[in-house]
Amino acid sequence: MVQNEQRRSLYGIIRLNMTGEQIEKYIRKDLESEPRHNCEALAEAINYIAREVEFDSFRLMQLLLENKPIEGLHTHSYGFHTHVGRELIEGMQNAYHEEIQFYVD
Protein backbone atom coordinates (compact mmCIF):
# COMPACT_ATOMS: atom_id res chain seq x y z
CA MET A 1 0.00 0.00 0.00
CA VAL A 2 2.81 2.43 0.83
CA GLN A 3 4.41 1.79 -2.53
CA ASN A 4 1.25 2.82 -4.39
CA GLU A 5 0.86 5.93 -2.25
CA GLN A 6 4.51 6.77 -2.75
CA ARG A 7 4.18 6.45 -6.51
CA ARG A 8 1.35 8.95 -6.47
CA SER A 9 3.60 11.42 -4.66
CA LEU A 10 5.71 11.63 -7.82
CA TYR A 11 2.81 13.47 -9.39
CA GLY A 12 2.45 15.92 -6.54
CA ILE A 13 -0.77 14.44 -5.19
CA ILE A 14 0.59 13.34 -1.81
CA ARG A 15 3.98 12.88 -0.24
CA LEU A 16 4.42 10.48 2.65
CA ASN A 17 7.35 10.22 5.00
CA MET A 18 9.02 6.87 5.47
CA THR A 19 9.02 5.49 9.00
CA GLY A 20 11.72 3.42 10.63
CA GLU A 21 9.27 0.53 10.81
CA GLN A 22 8.58 0.70 7.06
CA ILE A 23 12.29 0.78 6.28
CA GLU A 24 12.99 -2.16 8.57
CA LYS A 25 10.16 -4.15 6.98
CA TYR A 26 11.44 -3.29 3.48
CA ILE A 27 14.96 -4.44 4.35
CA ARG A 28 13.75 -7.68 5.91
CA LYS A 29 11.02 -8.63 3.40
CA ASP A 30 12.01 -7.10 0.07
CA LEU A 31 15.80 -7.19 0.40
CA GLU A 32 15.80 -10.38 2.51
CA SER A 33 18.44 -8.92 4.77
CA GLU A 34 18.92 -7.83 8.36
CA PRO A 35 19.09 -4.09 9.08
CA ARG A 36 22.60 -3.05 10.05
CA HIS A 37 21.76 0.53 10.90
CA ASN A 38 19.26 2.35 13.05
CA CYS A 39 16.12 2.39 10.89
CA GLU A 40 14.56 5.35 12.74
CA ALA A 41 17.62 7.52 12.09
CA LEU A 42 17.71 6.26 8.51
CA ALA A 43 14.07 7.29 8.03
CA GLU A 44 14.80 10.77 9.39
CA ALA A 45 17.76 11.15 7.02
CA ILE A 46 15.84 9.95 3.96
CA ASN A 47 12.84 12.16 4.77
CA TYR A 48 15.10 15.17 5.29
CA ILE A 49 16.66 14.82 1.84
CA ALA A 50 13.25 14.05 0.30
CA ARG A 51 11.98 17.39 1.62
CA GLU A 52 15.11 19.18 0.45
CA VAL A 53 14.83 17.94 -3.13
CA GLU A 54 11.02 17.69 -3.09
CA PHE A 55 11.05 14.09 -4.19
CA ASP A 56 9.61 10.75 -3.16
CA SER A 57 11.18 9.33 0.01
CA PHE A 58 10.47 5.73 -1.02
CA ARG A 59 12.43 6.12 -4.25
CA LEU A 60 15.30 7.81 -2.40
CA MET A 61 15.36 4.90 0.04
CA GLN A 62 15.65 2.49 -2.91
CA LEU A 63 18.52 4.56 -4.31
CA LEU A 64 20.35 4.42 -0.99
CA LEU A 65 19.69 0.79 -0.09
CA GLU A 66 19.61 -0.89 -3.51
CA ASN A 67 21.43 1.57 -5.74
CA LYS A 68 18.25 1.64 -7.83
CA PRO A 69 18.41 4.41 -10.47
CA ILE A 70 15.92 7.26 -10.45
CA GLU A 71 15.50 8.33 -14.06
CA GLY A 72 13.63 11.52 -13.19
CA LEU A 73 16.62 12.74 -11.18
CA HIS A 74 19.29 11.30 -13.51
CA THR A 75 21.09 9.49 -10.70
CA HIS A 76 22.91 7.04 -12.97
CA SER A 77 24.60 7.08 -16.35
CA TYR A 78 25.82 3.85 -17.93
CA GLY A 79 25.47 2.13 -14.56
CA PHE A 80 27.55 4.70 -12.66
CA HIS A 81 26.40 7.44 -10.31
CA THR A 82 26.09 10.88 -11.77
CA HIS A 83 26.99 13.97 -9.78
CA VAL A 84 23.35 14.23 -8.71
CA GLY A 85 23.25 10.57 -7.64
CA ARG A 86 26.40 10.97 -5.56
CA GLU A 87 25.08 14.16 -3.95
CA LEU A 88 21.81 12.50 -2.98
CA ILE A 89 23.50 9.42 -1.52
CA GLU A 90 26.13 11.44 0.33
CA GLY A 91 23.44 13.81 1.59
CA MET A 92 21.44 10.93 3.04
CA GLN A 93 24.58 9.39 4.56
CA ASN A 94 25.61 12.68 6.15
CA ALA A 95 22.09 13.31 7.46
CA TYR A 96 22.07 9.78 8.92
CA HIS A 97 25.36 10.36 10.74
CA GLU A 98 24.04 13.64 12.15
CA GLU A 99 20.76 12.00 13.18
CA ILE A 100 22.24 8.83 14.71
CA GLN A 101 23.82 10.77 17.57
CA PHE A 102 20.32 11.33 18.97
CA TYR A 103 19.69 7.58 19.11
CA VAL A 104 22.92 6.50 20.78
CA ASP A 105 22.82 6.01 24.55
Task: Give me the number of domains the chain comprises.
Answer: 1
Assess if residue 105 is contained within a domain: no
| Residue 35 belongs to some domain of the structure | yes
Per-residue model confidence as pLDDT tens digits over 41-51: 999 999 999 99
Average the pLDDT over 35-60 and give the result.
95
Average pLDDT over residues 53-77: 94
DSSP 8-state code for residue 16: P
Q: Is 8 inside any structural domain?
A: yes
* pLDDT tens per residue, range 77-105: 998 999 999 999 999 999 999 999 888 65
Residue 68 above 70 pLDDT? yes
The domain containing residue 66 runs over which residues? 2-100
Q: What is the pTM of this model?
A: 0.82
